Every structure is written in structure tokens, then in C-alpha cells.
């Protein structure tokens, strides 16, 4: 009895080690790859370069952290673009789970900062590697295949290229393997011809999609949805699932995903419709890879800043073996890679023209080279399928041996400097090209020897393959983007900023040169500019006005500029050097207040005509306001006397006291946007569009307290849908049985 129990215990321990071993290995490789980010030794530390990483994601994350840690939901952000709906800006990722985890965890390590966001970034490489391992392990039944695919996707050229700088691209993209795993498990758990799949696994797929959508890069999530729907249809065909049931299961998966993210999607759709994003046409959207970038499949780091098509030489060889040996799913992922590659060239091929006209959603986005996302994931999965073919004693045919030898010879020929430099690529960096050409030749040789040894039964080939792949990708991508500057030593702000911060009043700044990026959100300084890709059309119209008029209407007090003079009187407060440029901080001598009364108005039916009138230097916005509708006020009878005081200002609530001897219009220098509600002495009153962009309230003579509160219906509707979707997801996961009685569940 003791022997039997001890044997059973040893077997359980052995199984546990076999299943956890690959995760331990992937974690160790992850720690090795990012050791210079994780090390406590400051001289060895590296960090991501300033730019989009710091100017967009670090800055927005700082505002998000301040508000959430104060127990508030950041619906509106007054610190960039003269104010915008923060939650509705998709890249803010307000409810993205791993961002919430980072914000909470950073409070134990010094607060939200450059390093905290870097840790969030590198955590996603561990996430994608473990999820890819789980998926490929499931479809092949082999741990080695899962490990190989995990390493290739995590450390290949795509995810280590621009995604860590464009954090939303990375965070939206890593959840694809989880969704695929859910679909695979759901379909594999049903008998052939069953009308229902396992609803628990489908709910996991929907959850993965919802998390991706909340990460804030709709284009990446859209590519993901295309792949997921195609994969679900492919699996349904394999399992002979009726078409109607397939459509219902696709609807369930998409419904859960979009439902969970509705709290961000619905406000985002409302916001996007009011921005400049929809005003660009085919030519602006159809850019993509040049055909010459195909060479980065083989030679990285020479012809482009990043090499998103590079997955390693071993990955290409394994993918070719998977397709040649006709492995299950190889055809699907091969076609996925081909279609995505065709789309990635943008308008240079007819493929994108057809997709632009016929594929829902594709015409909304620029940068078609981002279809490399699908190429990278397809190649990594094909590599796992190729490992399965090799591990199951796939034999190299004589033709395959000859082909491999020919490829090796060609690679060595290309590595001859005179041939490569003078004949094929005369404009390339000769030193870099020679180095990587020889690197290609060495890898091709090692791979040829490895596959021959594997086909001959060499028992150590799995370890050799993992080592070769990691050596290849680590050598290519480990230094990509990372700079030898510790995160704690990043200085994002110029010397001019503290001078402005010392002014405790309510004002805006024009931070074009000297503040920059979205650093207004980072430090809580109200800037009329910003780098968010979504900008309201009304603000864009104002940016086209003469600078002095734009500054008037937006109540700008300080201007960070490289101009030697402004159009209106100003005082130089300080000067500094930023790079090679001279930047000056100027304080306007007579800035407009945040709110003011006008007792004369003109009716202008549209924003375009209002902007033309505002551009006239003879127009005085202090005296006259341009309104789209008649405010129904008594005409001016005598010279007016009035006082306006902003008594409290918060992102979603502004309180203003007004006293006026005549009827008039209170103009508030805040951008007009749906969801703002105005009350006058606690009674709701309409908000009028003033001067083509601002908010205004019509007031009778007397004393009034005006409150403006941001309560967008889109957020309330989205939150309600998300809560329902969350309850449905939980219910689906925990309900034991769902579907018809004829469904039979058998784990494959």
C-alpha cells in the first residue's frame, strides 16, 4: 500500500515538473532577455527612448494613476489639447487590467514612473510567451513545439520593434493566443458534428478579446478579430459544425469581447466621430511596406530601423517543413501569413484596394504595415507545427537535403562583401550589411546541420534548437530600442516648466516648444497642445487661427516658444536650450480669463463661418460672441456691469459665480463636447456652442451660480453593457451545462 501511494506521489510530482518546467524555462529566458531592465545595478540599466513611450503612454498613465488612486474615474482630461474626453481616447486604456495592476503595484515601489511603465511593457512579453506556449502545446500535444513558438513570437522582430514604444500596439496584440486556445479547446471538446462547443472555453476567448480591446489599439484588435473569425470558421469546418451554430458561437465570442470593453468602446466611437481621424482618405490610409522590406525576413537591422518581418532563420525553416509535410493547421496559418503580407504593402497592391472597399473596419486606419502582426504570429505557430513534424520522425528527402544545401551555398555567396555590397545593395551600410550577411550564412549552416542531425536521430537536437533560436533572436533584437540610460535618470521636462508651475492660478499654456508631447497630463499643466492621435475638429479649427486669437479664445497665459516675438505684448520669463534650439517662456501681458460675459452676439449657423469671422483682426471676442442659435435674451439697454469668478475647477465639474446688470452670454473657455450638463442656480439649462468651439450659457440679469458637470450618456451606456457582459461571462464559465441535450463533451 505504501509502495503504491509513494509511486503515485512520484508520478504526480513528475507530471507537475513536466508541465511547469516549460513555464520555468520561458520565465528564465524572459529574465535573461530583460536582465538589463530588471537589474538593480544602475550602471548596467537600460531604458526605452523618450518619444511616444514617454510623451503618450507615460504621461497619460500618470494622469490615470492620479485619478484612480484618488478614487475617481478619469472621464475628462483638462491637461492636453485644451481638454478632451480621457476615457474615450482609446489609448488611455483606463480599464485595461494590466495597467490597473501596474498602477497599484507601483505604489509599493516609488509610485507611477518611467520604470513602472517599463515593467508593464516587459511583463507582456512573459504573457505572450506563456500564452503562445499553451496554445501551440494544445494543438500539437508537444511541449517543445510550444516552447519554440513562444520564443519566436516573444523575441522576434515584430514585438521587439516598435510595439514597446507604441505600448497600446503591444498590449492589444499579445492576447491572440489566449483567444485561439479558447476556440481550439471549445471545438476539440465537442464530437464531430456537434451543434454546440464548450461554452466555458468560448467565454475565455471572449474575455481575451475584451482585454485586447481595452488595451487601446483598435487596429491591432481588428486584425486579431479577422484572424479569430477565420480560425473559428476553419475549426467549425473541421468539426462539421452547422453554419448557423458557427455563426452563433462567433457572435457569442465577439459579443462577450465587445461587451466587456463597451465602457471604453462606446465613448470612443462618440469621440472618434468628432475628431479629425475620419477626415483622411485612401491615399493617407494606404501606406504600407515597400517591397524591398521583404529582405528583412532574412537580414535584419540593416535596411530599416526595425525588422518586424524577422522571426529568425530557424522559424522560416520550421514553417517550411510544416507546410511541406502538410501538418494540420499549417495550411490555415500559411494562408493567414500570405494574406496579411499582401495587405501590409497597402495601396501598392490590388489586395488592399479590394480589402479597403469590402472588409469592414479596415478603411478606418492608417499604417497597413501593421498587418505584420498577423505575419509574425502565423510564422511562430507554423514553426511550432514544424517542430511537431521533426519530432515525429519526419525524414529529410533527398530533394530537401539538396535544397537546404543550395540555400546555404547561396547565403555564403551573399556574404562575400564584394558581391553583396557592390552588386546587390550598393546604397547599404557596407559594414552592417557584411556583418548580418555572414550572420545569415552561419545561421543557415547551423540550421542545415541541425535538421540533418534531427532526421538522423540525434537525441540532443531539441535543446540545440531552442538554444539556436534564442541565440538568433537575442542577437538580433536584444538591443533594439533600449538605450544605456537608467529609467530613473530620464529628464523629460525643460528648465522652463517649474517657473510656470509656480503660478497657482487657473490658466492654460501653449507648450509647443519647451513643454511638448503630452507632458501637460504628466505634471498637471493645462496645455492646448498634445500628441494624442485623436484631436477634436473644433480644436484643429482653432489651431488654424492666427496665434494671438487662438491664445485669446483658449485663455492662454504662458507660451513656450522659439519665436523671437509674439503678435501681442508679452514678457520674457526665462530662456533655455533644448537640443540645438533656443526656447523662450513668455507670459502674455493681457490674457483672457477662463470665463467672461458678453452682451452682444451674432448668429452664425456653422463652425466654418465662425472660424472665418474669428480670424478677422477687427473682431473682439471679449465684446461679441458667435452663437449657432438665438439665446433669447433682452437686447442691451445700458452699459453693462458684471463680475465673473471661477470658484472651483475640477476635471468633471466647474463652478462659476456670475453677477450682471444686463442679460448676456457667459462664455467658458472649454471645448464644447457631448455629455457636459449646465445648471444655473441648480436648474438645468442648455449649453450653447460659442465661437465655433467653446461652451456658453445664456443668463438673465442678476446673480447666478453656474455649474458644468461632465456626465456622458455614452459612458453610462457602455458601463451598463460591460457589467451585463461581465455577469454573462461569469455565468457561462460556472454554469455546468449549456446547449442541447444531444451535446456530448469529450476532452481531446
Secondary structure in 3-state letters for 74-133: CCCECCCCCCECCCCCHHHCCCCHHHHHHHHHHCCCCCCCHHHHHHHHHHHHHHHHHHHH
Instruction: Report strand pairing: 624-627 vs 642-650.
Output: unpaired
Place 16 in a pLDDT band, splitting at 50, 70 and 90: low
So what's the pLDDT on residue 303? 75
| Among candidate residues 561, 588, 615, the one where a domain is terminated | 588
723 belongs to a structural domain: no
Tell me the per-residue pLDDT of 579-633, one tens digit each, with 9 for 90 and over. 778 899 999 999 999 999 999 999 998 999 999 999 999 999 999 999 999 998 8
Residues 255 and 165 in one domain: yes
b/e 417-447 (16+ beta carbons within 10 angstroms → b):
eeebbeeebeebeeeebbebbbbbbbbbbbb
Please state the separation of Cα 238 from the chain's center in Å.
34
Cell of 338: 500570405
DSSP 8-class letter at 282: H
Closest by CA to 78, choosing from 702, 663, 594, 450, is 594
Tell me the per-residue pLDDT of 367-407, one tens digit each, with 9 for 90 and over. 889 999 999 999 999 999 999 988 876 555 555 555 555 56
Residues 462 and 452 in one domain: no
Note the pTM of the prediction, 2 decimals: 0.91
Place 298 in a pLDDT band, splitting at 50, 70 and 90: confident
Phi, psi of 586 (to 5 degrees): -120, 140
Q: For residues 288-313, give the mean pLDDT.
A: 84
So what's the pLDDT on residue 324? 83
b/e 625-654 (16+ beta carbons within 10 angstroms → b):
bbbbeebebeeeeeebebebebeeeebbeb
DSSP 8-class letter at 593: P
Contact assessment for residue 392 and residue 386, using Cβ atoms and an 8 Å cutoff: no
178 belongs to a structural domain: yes
Tell me what percent of the residues of the chain surpass a pLDDT of 90. Answer: 66
Residues 128 and 241 in one domain: yes
Angle formed at CA 387 by CA 384 and CA 388, multiple of 5 degrees: 95
Q: Grid cell 517543445 — which residue? A: 144
Query: CB neighbours of 678 closer than 8 A, spacing ≥ 6?
Result: 684, 685, 686, 687, 695, 697, 706, 707, 708
| Among candidate residues 416, 446, 475, the one where a domain is terminated | 475
In terms of residue numbers, what domain contains 645? 595-713
Residues 435 and 355 in one domain: no
So what's the pLDDT on residue 258? 96
Phi, psi of 641 (to 5 degrees): -130, 135
Lowest mean pLDDT among 300-314, 518-532, 596-610: 300-314
86 belongs to a structural domain: no
Distance in angstroms (rounded) separating the CA atoms of residues 650 and 652? 6
Residues 568 and 631 in one domain: no
| Whole-number Cα distances in Å, 344 to 155, 291, 375 | 21, 10, 9
Identity of the highest mean pLDDT range in 208-212, 300-304, 458-462, 660-664 = 208-212
Closest by CA to 506, choosing from 554, 541, 550, is 554
Q: Grid cell 486579431 — which residue? A: 224
Tell me the per-residue pLDDT of 44-69, one tens digit each, with 9 for 90 and over. 999 999 999 999 999 999 999 999 99
Q: What share of the chain is helix, strand, coil (3-state, %, to 5)?
A: 55, 15, 35
Phi, psi of 502 (to 5 degrees): -70, -15
- For residue 84, the cross-strand partners are 77
Residues 208 and 298 in one domain: yes
Contact assessment for residue 404 and residue 448, using Cβ atoms and an 8 Å cutoff: yes
469 belongs to a structural domain: yes
Q: For residues 56-84, give the mean pLDDT.
A: 96
- For residue 37, the cross-strand partners are none
Domains held by the chain: number = 4
Strands (E), 455-605: 508-510, 556-561, 570-578, 581-588, 595-598, 600-603
| Whole-number Cα distances in Å, 201 to 212, 275, 486, 720, 734 | 17, 38, 42, 24, 11
149 belongs to a structural domain: yes
Residues 405 and 389 in one domain: no
730 belongs to a structural domain: no
Residues 378 and 411 in one domain: no
Distance in angstroms (rounded) separating the CA atoms of residues 484 and 486? 7
Distance in angstroms (rounded) separating the CA atoms of residues 620 and 642? 18
Helix (H), strand (E) at residue 402: helix 398-414
DSSP 8-class letter at 47: B
3-state class of 694 per DSSP?
Answer: strand
Phi, psi of 654 (to 5 degrees): -125, 130
655 belongs to a structural domain: yes
Residues 370 and 450 in one domain: no
55 belongs to a structural domain: no
Residues 12 and 101 in one domain: yes
So what's the pLDDT on residue 406? 56
So what's the pLDDT on residue 7? 47
Tell me the per-residue pLDDT of 203-238, one tens digit each, with 9 for 90 and over. 999 999 999 999 999 999 999 999 999 999 999 998
Residues 411 and 463 in one domain: no
Tell me the per-residue pLDDT of 93-105, one tens digit each, with 9 for 90 and over. 999 999 999 999 9
- 381: Cα within 13 Å, side-chain hemisphere: 31
Residues 308 and 401 in one domain: no
* Average pLDDT, rounded, for the chain: 88
Cell of 417: 562583401
Place 425 in a pLDDT band, splitting at 50, 70 and 90: low
So what's the pLDDT on residue 648? 96
How many beta carbons lie within 10 A of that of residue 318, not counting itself?
Answer: 31
Contact assessment for residue 450 and residue 468, using Cβ atoms and an 8 Å cutoff: yes
Q: For residues 69-92, give the mean pLDDT.
A: 95
DSSP 8-class letter at 396: P
Contact assessment for residue 563 and residue 538, using Cβ atoms and an 8 Å cutoff: no
Amino acid at each position: 500500500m505504501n509502495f503504491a501511494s509513494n509511486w503515485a506521489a512520484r508520478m504526480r510530482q513528475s507530471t507537475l515538473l513536466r508541465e511547469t518546467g516549460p513555464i520555468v524555462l520561458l520565465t528564465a529566458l524572459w529574465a535573461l532577455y530583460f536582465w538589463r531592465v530588471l537589474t538593480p545595478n544602475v550602471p548596467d540599466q537600460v531604458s526605452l527612448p523618450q518619444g511616444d513611450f514617454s510623451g503618450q503612454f507615460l504621461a497619460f498613465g500618470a494622469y490615470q494613476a492620479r485619478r484612480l488612486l484618488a478614487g475617481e474615474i478619469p472621464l475628462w482630461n483638462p491637461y492636453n489639447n485644451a481638454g478632451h474626453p480621457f476615457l474615450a481616447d482609446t489609448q488611455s486604456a483606463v480599464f485595461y487590467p494590466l495597467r490597473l495592476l501596474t498602477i497599484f503595484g507601483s505604489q509599493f515601489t516609488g509610485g507611477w514612473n518611467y520604470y513602472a511603465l517599463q515593467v508593464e511593457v516587459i511583463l507582456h512579453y512573459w504573457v505572450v510567451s506563456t500564452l503562445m506556449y499553451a496554445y501551440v502545446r494544445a494543438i500539437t500535444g508537444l511541449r517543445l513545439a510550444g516552447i519554440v513558438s513562444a520564443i519566436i513570437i516573444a523575441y522576434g522582430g515584430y514585438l521587439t520593434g516598435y510595439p514597446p514604444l507604441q505600448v497600446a500596439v503591444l498590449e492589444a496584440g499579445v492576447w491572440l493566443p489566449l483567444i485561439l486556445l479558447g476556440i481550439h479547446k471549445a471545438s476539440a471538446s465537442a464530437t464531430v458534428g456537434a451543434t454546440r462547443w464548450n461554452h466555458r472555453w468560448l467565454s475565455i476567448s471572449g474575455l481575451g478579446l475584451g482585454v485586447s480591446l481595452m488595451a487601446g489599439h483598435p487596429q491591432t484588435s481588428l486584425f486579431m478579430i479577422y484572424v479569430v473569425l477565420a480560425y473559428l470558421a476553419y475549426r467549425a469546418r473541421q468539426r462539421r459544425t452547422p453554419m448557423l451554430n458557427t455563426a452563433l458561437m462567433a457572435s457569442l465570442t465577439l459579443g462577450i469581447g465587445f461587451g466587456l470593453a463597451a465602457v471604453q468602446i462606446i465613448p470612443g466611437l462618440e469621440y472618434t466621430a468628432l475628431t479629425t481621424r475620419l477626415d483622411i482618405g485612401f491615399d493617407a490610409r494606404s501606406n504600407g511596406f515597400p517591397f524591398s522590406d521583404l529582405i528583412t525576413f532574412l537580414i535584419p537591422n540593416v535596411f530599416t530601423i526595425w525588422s518586424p518581418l524577422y522571426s529568425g532563420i530557424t522559424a522560416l525553416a520550421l514553417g517550411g517543413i510544416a507546410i511541406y509535410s502538410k501538418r494540420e493547421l499549417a495550411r490555415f496559418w500559411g494562408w493567414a501569413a500570405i494574406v496579411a503580407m499582401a495587405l501590409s504593402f497597402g495601396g501598392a497592391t490590388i489586395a488592399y484596394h479590394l480589402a479597403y472597399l469590402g472588409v469592414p473596419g479596415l478603411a478606418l486606419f492608417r499604417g497597413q504595415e501593421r498587418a505584420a502582426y498577423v505575419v509574425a504570429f502565423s510564422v511562430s505557430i507554423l514553426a511550432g507545427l514544424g517542430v511537431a513534424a521533426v519530432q515525429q520522425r519526419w525524414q529529410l528527402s533527398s530533394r530537401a537535403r539538396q535544397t537546404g544545401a543550395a540555400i546555404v551555398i547561396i547565403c555564403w555567396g551573399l556574404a562575400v562583401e564584394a558581391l553583396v555590397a557592390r552588386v546587390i545593395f550598393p546604397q547599404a551600410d557596407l559594414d552592417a550589411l557584411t556583418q548580418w550577411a555572414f550572420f545569415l550564412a552561419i545561421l543557415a549552416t547551423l540550421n542545415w546541420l541541425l535538421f540533418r542531425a534531427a532526421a538522423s536521430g540525434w537525441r540532443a537536437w531539441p535543446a540545440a534548437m531552442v538554444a539556436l533560436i534564442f541565440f538568433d533572436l537575442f542577437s538580433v533584437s536584444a538591443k533594439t530600442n533600449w538605450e544605456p540610460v537608467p529609467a530613473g535618470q530620464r529628464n523629460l521636462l525643460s528648465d522652463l516648466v517649474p517657473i510656470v508651475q509656480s503660478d497657482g492660478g487657473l490658466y492654460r499654456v501653449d507648450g509647443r516648444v519647451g513643454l511638448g508631447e503630452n507632458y501637460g497630463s504628466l505634471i498637471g499643466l493645462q496645455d492646448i497642445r498634445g500628441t494624442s492621435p485623436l484631436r477634436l475638429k473644433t480644436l484643429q479649427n482653432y489651431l488654424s487661427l492666427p496665434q494671438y486669437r487662438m491664445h485669446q479664445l483658449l485663455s492662454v497665459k504662458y507660451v513656450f516658444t522659439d519665436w523671437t516675438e509674439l503678435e501681442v505684448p508679452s514678457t520674457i520669463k526665462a530662456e533655455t536650450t533644448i537640443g540645438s534650439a533656443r526656447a523662450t517662456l513668455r507670459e502674455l501681458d493681457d490674457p483672457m480669463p477662463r470665463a467672461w460675459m458678453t452682451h452682444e452676439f451674432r448668429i452664425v449657423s456653422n463652425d466654418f463661418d465662425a472660424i472665418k469671422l474669428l480670424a478677422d483682426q477687427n473682431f473682439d471676442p471679449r465684446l461679441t460672441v458667435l452663437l449657432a442659435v438665438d439665446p433669447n435674451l433682452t437686447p442691451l439697454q445700458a452699459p453693462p456691469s458684471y463680475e465673473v469668478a471661477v470658484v472651483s475647477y475640477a476635471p468633471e465639474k466647474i463652478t462659476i459665480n456670475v453677477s450682471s446688470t444686463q442679460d448676456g452670454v457667459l462664455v467658458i473657455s472649454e471645448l464644447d463636447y457631448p455629455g457636459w450638463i449646465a445648471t444655473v442656480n441648480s436648474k438645468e439649462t442648455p449649453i450653447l456652442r460659442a465661437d465655433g468651439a467653446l461652451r456658453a450659457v445664456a443668463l438673465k440679469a442678476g446673480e447666478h451660480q453656474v455649474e458644468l458637470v461632465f456626465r456622458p450618456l455614452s459612458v453610462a451606456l457602455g458601463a451598463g453593457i460591460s457589467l451585463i457582459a461581465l455577469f454573462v461571462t461569469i455565468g457561462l464559465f460556472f454554469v455546468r451545462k449549456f446547449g442541447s441535450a444531444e451535446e456530448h463533451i469529450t476532452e481531446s
